[in-house]
Amino acid sequence: MEKWILIDGNSIAFRAFYALPLLTNASGLHTNAVFGFTTMLLKLLEEEQPTHMLVAFDAGKITFRHEGYSEYKGGRQKTPSELSEQFPLIKELLQAFGISQFELSGYEADDIIGTLTRMADEQGAEVLVVSGDKDMLQLASDQVTVAITRKGVGDVDRYSPALIHERYGLAPLQIIDLKGLMGDTSDNIPGIPGVGEKTALKLLHEYGSVEGVLEHVADLKGKMKEKVEQHKDDAIMSKKLATIFREVPLDRGTSEMAYGGYDRPTLAGALRKLEFKSLLERLDLTGEGTGSTVAAAELNVVSVAAHDEDALSALAAGLRSVESVYVEVIGENPHQSETIAVALATADVIFVVPMAELQASALGFVREWLADADMEKAGFDLHRTELSLAWHGIALKGISFDIQLAAYLLDPTDSTQSISGLCGKYGLPTVQADESVYGKGAKFKLPEAGVLHGHIASKTDAVRSIAAIQREELEKTGMHKLYYDLEQPLSRVLAGMELQGIRCDASVIEQLGAELESRISDIMTKVYTLAGMEFNINSPRQLGEVLFEKLGLPVIKKTKTGYSTDADVLEKLEPYHEIIPSILLFRQLAKLQSTYVEGLLKEIRPNTGKIHTYYRQTIAATGRLSSQYPNLQNIPIRLEEGRQIRKAFVPSEPGWFMLAADYSQIELRVLAHISGDEGLKEAFVQDLDIHTKTASDVFGVRPEDVDANMRRQAKAVNFGIVYGISDFGLSNNLNITRKEAAQFIEQYFAAFQGVRRYMDNIVAQARTDGYVTTLLERRRYLPEIKASNFNIRSFAERTAMNTPIQGTAADIIKLAMVRMDEQLRARGLRSRMLLQVHDELVFEVPADELELMKELVPQVMESAIKLDVPLKADVSFGDNWYEAK
DNA sequence: AGTGTCACG
DNA sequence: ACGTACGTGACACTC
């Protein structure tokens, strides 16, 4: 027998949208309703095994129901844009599933479904109607079951006529009468005022229908009688509106709804586009490409072996016209990675040279080509590649284009950075994802050479296609200068710093570790005594139990899993129990011990005593760098105990010095420049203490009358301004009321009206353009600036205010780094740039260059770019990083 | 793998 | 009414 599934597309999309948190894919599209829709479809397909399937949609705003009642569905909230933008995606998805869909102007989805259920009754098919709307219950019959979603979309109640009778004591068609009496606020159907579900059911059990009730109006009493008499016409009209129309002129046969299953590559493509990775995996579609295997098979791949003279001569000839380079690097940390093979794409051949072959003397000409700065190379993640090859004794120079770096500039918030992901993003034939070829985690395994080389070749091939698209995009978006003159040159500077490494004296750290160990052990004993029991202080859960259950301290804040025990909470608990300071101290020392003593010791290379961090150039949405393995951008400084760690960072040559230079107030100077605020600019021109100046303006006192507390509060306001201020955030930070915070902000904006204008303008601009930019035209897209959800929108607004400031500061120090590197080379200096910490550069300097570098470094930093206010860099030096303060 | 916490700018 | 300050990475714990 035929089994039909008929889905009310609009209703299910609505339910899914409100049931799931807002998901966004890399391009900023919302996908939560699509996701919910998809999971529901999969569940239905699996559980029901339908022979026919159709999703009906409402079409147009005006239906025949408006003819008799123009207010139908009036007063309804507009569909949020986050949902409406998902309907095209749902329709595409249905196509990929091979599920038919239907809409007809002037009719709603339930009318289409109603018409089809009538036909099913006539044809003897079994039907499951799926909707979130209980009106649909009127369609239930012996053959038609109506599934209504319950709590989201995963779960449904299946209504047969028997169940409807059990729940409501009504026949399916009486559902119409029910609604005629009680109305429906969401559709603006009036019904009879004062009649809810309970009263309506009582009336229907007594009189059977709306007409029955109206006939027996004389039997009613009091207010009820009055209401029914008064709203007789409303009830009749409401019933009419609630009646599903079952005679829609469908212009197609039911055979077109036949469901024959989905095409795996097509569905895989659609799910990949939506970034539904979990579903791809669940359906085992991860390896299913849209022609990737075909693409790989069509490529002319030559695996080069040192003894294969034909291949070698072809490769030698090919080196003159290499279009892209790809090196397969395995491992997260490029300083401790494995390079598998180097691949080069020429117009007609892709050469894959396994690492062992590349090391052979016969391949010396390839190594020379790689090291030749005049041979330009376009590739993927060449910063990582340069490091990995360097550790294997092979130099890589002449990097001219990197598709990962370009992708980052084109959209820094897009997390797809793999070649396979970029193919999908730019609409190119997909290559297989690494994960599907290699597996992941413990299952990671390289396949046999044929498959491996084919995969590497397909990626090398893709690189050139992606590069061609991106070069154009960089021009179009005005980011070509930023790319070619700044980011690409910087990549090489970073690699130099990373390979150089920074010397770290293990004995200093070990000494510190020993002291910490004994202090931690003492403090643990004290905490256990005060708590009256032993427990794991490092476990937020156990600590929460001890503090809030055993000791009965007041709960200040909760996390989604339990009690919050962060430093903010603990500070508020200090007056209640003497255990609190000990816990705070334990936390502080434990952090130092685990992250900075044990963590850093693990990163010191035993043979050189150096630490090599890896700067990530494609992570931070604002344009900043980040640092990994280890992170050298968060070495303690604020508290003296932690600051001691810096004593371990020393010059790598005897008699040299550490020299550090940091920008003074770079973000506020940038703000002064881009906002054009006269007062702020003047403050920097005069090189005033900016927090004192702010306090004096905000509190309306003379600068010499600003006390420490006023300055502290002004400093917090300045931070807030840079972060995209809100009264809530400031009040939290200063522990004052929101009202007071709002007052501070208002006073600030009154004093710095140019800043207020900037903040207003940048948000408006983000709304118009969909993105904000830095001084060097770096972009960040902010699709959420148009969100209807207050929180999401507010977050985007703060980001719009902050990103041009933080991002311009990042642009500036990057410029300084490239210039500094040029200067060191041009002047033939031995001094080396080692670290960047957002507004600070750290060098190691021979004694005889110290005086020069003390002048040169700040000079280069201050002249990196010309702003309307001066830039200022402070320089210091010493025997270690601690002393260079 | 996700959460909480905390180090830095 | 809504309920967060911006940007990162590493560690320990928990499931």
- For the segment A143-158, what is each residue's pLDDT rounded down to a tens digit? 899 988 876 666 778 8
Q: How confident is the model at residue A272 (pLDDT cuts 50, 70, 90)?
A: confident
pLDDT at residue A291 greater than cutoff 50: no
Output the distance from A541 CA to B2 C1' rounded to whole Å.
Answer: 15
| Closest protein CA to C1' of nucleotide C2, residue | A790
Which amino acid residue lies closest to nucleotide B9, measuring CA to C1'? A838
Residue closest to C12, CA→C1'?
A: A538
Separation between Cα atoms, residue A208 and residue A42, nearest integer Å: 40
Whole-number distance in Å between A590 CA and C9 C1': 17
Separation in Å: B4 C1' and A447 CA? 39
Of the candidates A55, A61, A58, which has an alpha carbon nearest to the alpha carbon of residue A92?
A55
Give the nucleotide at minimum CA-to-C1' distance from A803. C6
Of A395-399, A436-440, A506-510, A598-602, the poorest mean pLDDT is in A436-440
A164 pLDDT more than 70: yes
Task: Return all residues near A563 (Cβ < 8 A) that are at least 6 apart.
Answer: A540, A544, A547, A548, A555, A557
pLDDT bracket for residue A833 (50, 70, 90): very high
Q: What is the pLDDT of residue A287?
A: 61
* Class of residue A200 by CB neighbours under 10 A (exposed 0-12, middle 13-18, buried 19+): buried
Smallest CA–C1' separation from A802: which nucleotide?
Answer: C6
In DSSP notation, A237-293 reads: HHHHHHSPP------S-GGGGB-----HHHHHHHHHHHT-HHHHHHTT-TT--SSHH
**Interatomic CA distance for residues A803 and A789, integer angstroms:** 21
Q: Which nucleotide is nearest to A798 (CA to C1')?
A: C6
Nucleotide nearest to A623 (CA to C1'): C7
Q: Which nucleotide comes closest to A837 if you measure CA to C1'?
A: B9
Task: Give the pLDDT confidence score for residue A341 in this predicted structure.
Answer: 98
Total residue length of chain A: 885
Distance A729 CA to B5 C1' (A): 19
| CA angle at A526 for the pair A524 and A532, rounded to the nearest 5° | 100
* Pairwise CA distance, residues A397 & A379, whole Å: 12
CA→C1' distance for A566 and B4 (Å): 8
Helix (H) or strand (E) holding A710: helix A708-723
- The reported pLDDT for the residue numbered A596 is 95
Cα separation, A474 vs A488, whole angstroms: 13
- Name the residue closest to C11, CA to C1': A595
The four Cα atoms A560, A565, A571, A574 give a dihedral, to 10 degrees, of 120
pLDDT at residue A718, rounded to an integer: 94
Is CATH 1.10.10.60 correct for A3-169+245-257? no
Helix (H) / strand (E) element for A129: namely strand A126-131
- The integer distance in angstroms from the CA atom of A441 to the C1' atom of C13 is 21
CATH 3.30.70.370 domain span(s) along chain A: 651-677+752-885
Q: For the ranges A102-116, A340-354, A382-396, A536-550, which has the lowest average pLDDT? A: A102-116
Share of chain A above pLDDT 70, in %: 96
Q: Which residue is nearest to nucleotide B7 (CA to C1')?
A: A634
Contact A311, A305 (CB under 8 A): yes
> CA geometry: angle at A502 spanning A496 and A508, to 5°?
175
- What pLDDT is stored for residue A664 in this prediction? 96
Residue A279 reports pLDDT greater than 80: no
Using CA atoms, how far residue A541 sits from A468, A537, A560, A562, A563, in Å, is: 53, 9, 12, 7, 7
User: Nearest nucleotide (C1') to the CA of residue A564?
Assistant: B4
Q: Is the pTM of this model over 0.85?
A: no
**A290-501 belongs to which CATH class?**
alpha beta
Across all strands, nucleotide nearest A633 (CA–C1'): B8
Which residue, counting CA atoms, is nearest to the C1' of nucleotide C5?
A729
pLDDT reported for residue A840:
96
Confidence band for A284, pLDDT divided at 50, 70 and 90:
low
Find the nucleotide nearest A839 (Cα to C1′): B9
Over residues A65-93, the pLDDT tens digits come to 777 777 777 666 667 777 888 887 888 88
- CA of A625: nearest nucleotide by C1' is C8
Q: Å from A76 (CA) to C1 (C1')?
A: 20
Distance measured from the CA of protein residue A623 to the C1' of nucleotide C6, in angstroms: 13
A290 pLDDT above the threshold of 50: no
Report the pLDDT value the prediction gives residue A519, as an integer from 0 to 100. Answer: 95
pLDDT digits over A131-146, tens only?
Answer: 888 888 889 988 899 9
CB A54 within 8 A of CB A6: yes
Q: How far is the CA of A644 from the C1' of C12 (A)?
A: 23
- A299 CA → C8 C1’, Å: 41
More confident of the two residues A158 and A64: A158
Q: Which CATH class is domain A651-677+752-885?
A: alpha beta
Give the pairing of strands A52-57 and A3-8: parallel
Q: Quick one: which of A232, A240, A237, A289 has its CA closest to A266?
A: A289
Rounded to whole angstroms, the distance from the CA of residue A638 to the C1' of nucleotide C5 is 20
Which nucleotide's C1' sits nearest to the alpha carbon of A558?
Answer: B4
The least confident of A255-269, A359-373, A406-420, A562-576 is A255-269
**Closest nucleotide to residue A734 (Cα to C1')?**
C5
In three-state secondary structure terms, A682 is helix
Most confident of A214-223, A254-263, A427-436, A761-770: A761-770
Nucleotides of C under 7 A from a protein CB: 1-15
Q: Pairing mode, if any, of strands A610-611 and A502-504?
A: antiparallel
How far is the CA of A388 from the CAs of A112, A301, A330, A495, in angstroms? 62, 24, 9, 10
- pLDDT of amino acid A77: 60
- Identify the pLDDT of residue A293: 43
CA of A570: nucleotide with nearest C1' = B5
At A200, the pLDDT band (50, 70, 90 cuts) reads confident
Structure confidence at residue A862 as a pLDDT band (50, 70, 90):
very high
Between residues A26 and A683, the one the model is more confident about: A683
**What integer pLDDT is reported at residue A870 of this predicted model?**
97
Q: What is the mean pLDDT of chain A?
A: 90
- A409 sits in which H/E element: helix A403-410
CA–CA distance, A868 with A326 (Å, rounded to integer)? 44
Average pLDDT over residues A283-306: 70
| Distance, Å, A277 CA → B1 C1' | 15
Rounded to whole angstroms, the distance from the CA of residue A441 to the C1' of nucleotide B1 is 12
pLDDT tens digits along A614-667? 999 999 999 999 999 999 999 999 999 999 999 999 999 999 999 999 999 999
Predicted confidence (pLDDT) at residue A207 exceeds the cutoff of 70: yes
Helices marked H in A774-849 — which ranges? 790-826
Confidence of residue A502 (pLDDT cuts 50, 70, 90): very high
Which nucleotide is nearest, taking the CA of residue A727 and each C1'? C5
Provide, in whole angstroms, the distance separating residue A527's CA from nucleotide B5's C1'.
19
| Residue A294 pLDDT | 43
Residues of chain A with CATH 1.20.1060.10: 506-611+620-631
Q: Is the dihedral of CA A293, A298, A299, A304 positive or negative?
A: positive
Can you give the pLDDT at residue A359? 97
Q: Which fold has domain A506-611+620-631?
A: Taq DNA Polymerase; Chain T, domain 4 (1.20.1060)
Using the structure, give the distance in angstroms from the CA atom of A476 to the C1' atom of C3, rounded to a whole number: 39
Q: Which nucleotide minimizes the distance between its C1' and the CA of A538? A: C12
Burial class (CB in 10 A: 0-12, 13-18, 19+), A142: exposed
Nearest protein residue to C9's C1' (by CA)?
A631
SS3 A61: coil
How many Å from the CA of A342 to C1' of B7?
A: 38
**Residue A661 forms beta bridges with which residues?**
A841, A875
Contact A721/A729 with Cβ under 8 angstroms? no
Q: Torsion over CA of A615, A618, A624 and A626, rounded to 10 degrees? A: -30
Å from the A800 CA to the B5 C1': 28
Closest CA to the C1' of B4: that residue is A540
Average pLDDT, integer, range A221-241: 80
CATH 3.40.50.1010 residue spans of chain A: 3-169+245-257
Nucleotide showing the shortest C1' distance to residue A718 CA: C5
Selection from A188, A230, A181 nearest residue A208 by Cα: A181
Collapsing DSSP to helix, strand or coil, A393 comes out as coil
Nucleotide nearest to A726 (CA to C1'): C5
HEC profile of A21-52: CCCECCCCCECHHHHHHHHHHHHHHHHHCCCE
| Distance measured from the CA of protein residue A569 to the C1' of nucleotide C12, in angstroms | 19
Percent of chain A at pLDDT > 90 equals: 60
The reported pLDDT for the residue numbered A387 is 97
φ/ψ of residue A173, rounded to 5: -65, -20
Distance A550 CA to C8 C1' (A): 36
Which of A184-198, A251-265, A711-725 is predicted least confidently?
Answer: A184-198
Assign A749 a pLDDT band (cuts: 50, 70, 90).
Answer: very high
Question: Is residue A61 very low, low, confident or very high in pLDDT (cuts 50, 70, 90)?
Answer: low
Residue nearest to nucleotide B6 (CA to C1'): A591
In chain A, CATH 3.30.420.10 covers: 290-501
DSSP A619: -
For residue A736, what are its two tokens? 């004052």
Which nucleotides of strand B are protein-proximal, with an atom < 7 A from a CB?
1, 3-9
Distance of alpha carbon A731 from alpha carbon A744, whole angstroms:
10
Which of A76-90, A110-124, A238-252, A721-735 comes out lowest in average pLDDT?
A: A76-90
State the nearest residue by CA to the C1' of C6: A723
Query: ∠ CA A82-A85-A86 to the nearest 5 degrees?
Result: 90
Give mean pLDDT, residues A479-505.
97
Strand B contact set, beta carbon < 7 A: A 440-441, 540, 559-562, 564-568, 570, 584, 587-588, 591, 595, 633-639, 642-643, 806, 837-840
| CA→C1' distance for A245 and B7 (Å) | 65
Instruction: Tell me the C-alpha distance between A263 and A506, whole Å.
Output: 59
